[in-house]
Amino acid sequence: MTSRHPSDFDLLEIPELFASASCRDLIAELRHSPATPALTYGQSQTPLVAATIRNVTRLLAAAETIRSVQSRLIKAKAQLEQHFGIGLGDCEEPQFLCYRTGDFFVAHQDGNTGLVRMESDRLRRISISLFLNAQSGEPAEGSFCGGSLVFSDWRSGATRELKAVAGTLVAFRSELTHEVTPVTYGERYSIVTWFAGGTESSPVAS
């Protein structure tokens, strides 16, 4: 099942792409995986650790886990193509992320804007964020507070804040401005990746 919201932002949410048990198993594995600071891409050709821009840990999952997750994401490609009305190509290797208390990612775009100097920037068309655990208003075991995924449009001043639901995939055009607000409690686990563009297809009738 998919849901489409009438708003200023063209988002696609696919609930329960991963079952709750699968999310818990992934988090259990990631807690014991090697970790490294996530890199930031900007006007330099070389990615950097820039904690004032992107302060989050990247977890290095096992190769089998990466292949399994990537396969599941690729199966959702037809739904993405139908919603966004474009043909899509390959899916980049997923990044497994953990935002701990105080971690954040400032407002940015992922690609298709010319603002980021990396080879994949010109190819990225659809960004994917998959929540592995839930966001809550009050501290609770297994959940996190803060850490909202927020979309914004500088032209209209509009914003949209999404509450994380474990197992839900959120897809959006890579040029859409978005951020992750600081986590105030717990650990926020997520998977991010990007689909390259393919040939244009006819828009889907609503």
Query: What architecture (CATH level 2) is domain 3-196?
Result: Sandwich (2.60)
Q: What is the reported pLDDT for 121?
A: 54
Find the helix or strand (DSSP H, E) in which 21 lies. Answer: helix 20-30
Domain boundaries, given as residue ranges, for the chain: 3-196
pLDDT exceeds cutoff 80 at 204: no
C-alpha torsion 5→194→24→40, nearest 10: -110
Angle at 191 between CA 67 and CA 14, to 5 degrees: 95
According to DSSP H, which parts of 51-183 are helical? 63-75, 77-84
pLDDT exceeds cutoff 80 at 42: no
- pTM for this model (two decimals): 0.89
Q: What is the reported pLDDT for 198?
A: 83
Q: Do residues 41 and 80 make contact, with C-beta atoms less than 8 angstroms apart? A: no
pLDDT in tens, 9-26: 999 999 999 999 999 999
